[in-house]
Amino acid sequence: MSISKQFFPLFFLSLIISTFGLQGQKASDLSTGVQVSIDPAYGIIQLTWHPAANTQSQSLVRTLPSRHHYSLTKDQNMVEDTIVKNKFYSYHLSSFGKVSAHDYLLIGIEMNHRFLSNPGPVLLIVEQSLKDSLQDEVAELKNDWQREGRLVYEMVVKKDKPVIEIRDSIKTYYKSKRGLSHILLLGHVPVPYSGNTAWDGHGNHTGAWPADVYYGVPRGIWTDYKINNSSPGRNQNKNIPGDGKFDQNKIPGKVEIAVGRIDFSNLPEFSDSEIELTRKYLDKLHLYKTGQIQPVERALIDDNFGYFRGEAFSQSGWRNFNVFFHPDSIFSKSEHGVDYFTDLSKRSYLWSYGCGGGNYRGANGIGKTKDYASNEVQTVFTMMFGSYFGDWDVQNSFLRAALASGTTLTNCWAGRPVWYMHEMAMGYTIGQAAKSTQNNVNSKYYTPGNFGSGGCHVSLLGDPTLRMYMISPPTRLSLQKTGIDVVATWSPSPDKEILGYRIYRKYENDEYVQLNDSIITDTSFVFPYEKKNGVYTVLVRAIKLQKTRMGSFYNLSLGAISQYFNTTSTENQKNSHFLHYYPNPVLNRLSIEGVHKGEQPLRLVFYNSKGQIVKTCQLASGTTEVDLSGLPSGTYNLIVFHRYTIVQSNQVIKL
């Protein structure tokens, strides 16, 4: 039997309401509504919940730091446990009655995450036309990742580049000694397709679906010779041998790299062009990462399916939101009468979920693509579910359109399968949540009937490196060499709950090394500089104890970043034109440090993005400061000449 025949199709809303009434159950029943109380002083946690109706049995299993089964009676609704600081505790709570209710928790006290200090390299794969048009915004995106302590790779591709060639290039980065943790596809980067099924249960939608996860499985075996289906009306869904679309319905291996996509191509419902929509997204992405967008910590659920024969699609909302928020901060259509577009246009919500009988450009009870174009939706993370629009590589895609509205930064088709985001409550990225969901092939996490589990269609739209809790960063980092020391000074973070700062340094392209053992409460720090010649990057990040429903962890902001160049030996004196520029990005004045043995000074020429000369100056040996305060903010190219010969070219300076 094909997978599509196993799925119950998503019919029209009238039938769904009828089905909901006959069942007498609610989607929220598939979560126990578990709440966590924590006494950090004594390391005592208390779990309380609502057992399922007509409970027959219950189960609580802890899998971290060691496996342990708790003995529960069928009426029990509370357990206490003792935990220690800086260690994760993972729980799975189940209650079996009329329905099977499941919840997953990741709990910790004062967690000190290594991945927040060293989050791993990210690869930006950007479509050529966007790269050419959005140089400043792409530079800012990469700079924000660097300010998070990431090594950033970049690949520019054309729209017609074969997906297999892109994946081969990804493997090169993945196999490097530093590995690869996240990939962001920016623009209409070629879309992989795979499988021959209808994940929404509609027989006329059987075929290959978009499968961005292909890029995140570097060691999986993908084939293109088995499936022969030329019947779909939409060409992209057709799948025949040798057409570049893959055979697999299920992901053929472990997802090892989190993949997300930002793609505003082919959205004529919006008056703005693809370039402008992408620019606006990258602008609000920067504002969110730097704490300038502060969403209200609450959630909205607009469920137009209900229980739906036990699939209860909105459990992707209920189960995760019960972990993130107090019950009083979860607003639903069934209990509060909220409406997705009406309420999200008026009030801010960190998270939201909406589902209803759908088509490529909308969902019953939710709205249409044009509603995203005419409203400023005030949510950051959202999830949607309905027929057809999970197949998002279409004109005026409802799923993709969400990212073009208001403060929305991520979206996913959540229902087949259920998505598991609970790790984000303890500081993990939404890319990690996507990986956990994609790798849920052996029912580690509960999905009714395993519908959609491990499917190649499970995709994330948006920046996969995003986290739920962002801090306003420090700014204006200045480095001054004095004798054998470097003095770092910076402007403080405006966040009122900051404990202090962590200082990091790296040599060339090495990983960052933390310089301070204890938190720095001042806004200056002195450290010795290494004797090794080369460029050193210094990063200062604000730190706070982030308290969540699942405990607490030491959260880090993006950092203030600057560089210095060390020439303590004569090794580099042999190079007659060795130059280093700092800080970059520039505040007002750019310092240029270098060695020049020529008879004539070097000539520095700054060009704007249009190729126009905006400033020139001269440089002799030593250090020169160039005043760039008169130039507008943006990205500039610097070319260095010795007489009429180019010494250095394509040096990017950001102001």
Per-residue pLDDT tens over the stretch 167-196: 999 999 999 878 899 999 999 999 999 999
Q: Averaged over 211-221, what is the pLDDT?
A: 96
Q: Comparing C-alpha atoms, which of 467, 468, 464 is closest to residue 258?
A: 464
- Report the alpha-carbon distance of residue 309 to residue 45 in Å, rounded: 35
Cβ atoms of 193 and 392 closer than 8 Å: no
Least confident of 196-200, 449-453, 581-585, 607-611: 607-611
What pLDDT score was predicted for residue 63? 94
Copy the structure tokens of residue 100: 């099977």
Side-chain half-sphere CA neighbours of 484 within 13 A:
4
Q: Does the structure show a pLDDT above 80 at 2?
A: no
- Report the alpha-carbon distance of residue 383 to residue 400 in Å, rounded: 11
Q: How far is CA 475 from CA 481, 489, 494, 508, 586, in A?
A: 19, 10, 10, 22, 12
DSSP state of 43: T
Q: Does the structure show a pLDDT above 90 at 285?
A: yes
Between these two residues, 345 and 570, which has the higher pLDDT value?
345
Q: How far is CA 477 from CA 31, 152, 485, in A?
A: 47, 21, 16
- Strands laid side by side in the 602-607 sheet: 613-619, 602-607, 635-642, 645-654
Between these two residues, 587 and 130, which has the higher pLDDT value?
130
- According to DSSP, the residues that pair with 100 across neighbouring strands are 96
Q: Does the structure show a pLDDT above 50 at 486?
A: yes
What pLDDT score was predicted for residue 69? 95
- Report the alpha-carbon distance of residue 382 to residue 379 in Å, rounded: 7
- Report the alpha-carbon distance of residue 514 to residue 598 in Å, rounded: 39
Judged by phi (left if over 0) then psi (alpha if -120 to 50, else beta), residue 551 lies in: left
Question: What is the maximum alpha-carbon separation in the chain?
Answer: 91
Q: Averaged over 474-503, what is the pLDDT?
A: 92
- Strands laid side by side in the 622-627 sheet: 577-582, 589-596, 622-627
Residue 465 CA, distance from chain mean position: 3
Amino acid at 318: W
Q: Does the structure show a pLDDT above 50 at 60?
A: yes
What is the SS3 assignment for 54?
A: coil
Q: Does the structure show a pLDDT above 90 at 591?
A: no
Q: Does the structure show a pLDDT above 60 at 73?
A: yes
Q: Averaged over 614-622, what is the pLDDT?
A: 74
**Cα angle value 587/588/594 (rounded, 5°):** 90
Q: Does the structure show a pLDDT above 50 at 520?
A: yes
Q: Averaged over 598-604, what is the pLDDT?
A: 70
Look-up: residue for tokens 């939706």? 377
Copy the structure tokens of residue 223: 């084939």
Instruction: Place 569 in a pLDDT band, splitting at 50, 70 and 90.
Output: very low
- According to DSSP, the residues that pair with 153 across neighbouring strands are 123
Look-up: residue for tokens 């997953």? 104
Query: 82 — phi, psi (to 5°)?
Result: -115, 130
Q: Does the structure show a pLDDT above 90 at 165?
A: yes
Between these two residues, 1 and 482, which has the higher pLDDT value?
482
- Strands laid side by side in the 367-368 sheet: 358-359, 362-363, 367-368
Environment class of 559 (CB within 10 Å of its CB; exposed 0-12, middle 13-18, buried 19+)? buried
Query: How, if at all, do strands 68-70 and 57-64 pair?
Result: antiparallel
Length of the chain (residues): 655
Query: How, if at all, do strands 44-48 and 35-39 pair?
Result: antiparallel
- Report the alpha-carbon distance of residue 20 to residue 333 in Å, rounded: 14
Least confident of 41-50, 119-128, 195-204, 606-615: 606-615
Copy the structure tokens of residue 474: 């420090």
Copy the structure tokens of residue 525: 């720090």
Copy the structure tokens of residue 99: 């329905």
Query: 329 — phi, psi (to 5°)?
Result: -105, 15
Copy the structure tokens of residue 553: 């962890």
Look-up: residue for tokens 């920016």? 186
Q: Radius of gyration over alpha carbons of the chain, in Å?
A: 27
What pLDDT score was predicted for residue 306? 95
**Cα angle value 8/10/16 (rounded, 5°):** 100
366 contact partners, CB below 8 Å, separation of at least 6: 302, 304, 340, 341, 354, 355, 356, 384, 386
Q: Averaged over 481-493, what is the pLDDT?
A: 90
Least confident of 14-23, 293-302, 401-410, 550-559: 14-23
Instruction: Place 12 in a pLDDT band, splitting at 50, 70 and 90.
Output: very low
Amino acid at 623: T
Look-up: residue for tokens 């609502």? 50
Give all strands (DSSP E) within 112-144, no chain letters: 122-127
What pLDDT score was predicted for residue 571? 40
DSSP state of 632: P
Q: What is the mean pLDDT of the chain?
A: 90
Look-up: residue for tokens 């469920």? 303
Q: Does the structure show a pLDDT above 60 at 638?
A: yes
Cβ atoms of 149 and 559 closer than 8 Å: yes
Least confident of 15-29, 234-248, 344-358, 455-469: 15-29
Query: 384 — phi, psi (to 5°)?
Result: -135, 155
Amino acid at 62: R
- Report the alpha-carbon distance of residue 107 to residue 34 in Å, rounded: 13
Domain architecture of the chain: domains with CATH: 475-566 (2.60.40.10), 571-654 (2.60.40.3080)
The model scores a pTM over 0.85? yes
What pLDDT score was predicted for residue 1? 25
Copy the structure tokens of residue 205: 């939608």
Environment class of 290 (CB within 10 Å of its CB; exposed 0-12, middle 13-18, buried 19+)? middle
Peptide linkage before 585 cis (omega within 30 of 0): yes
- Which helix (H) or strand (E) segment is 137 a member of? helix 135-146
- Report the alpha-carbon distance of residue 155 to residue 160 in Å, rounded: 14
Q: Averaged over 452-479, what is the pLDDT?
A: 96
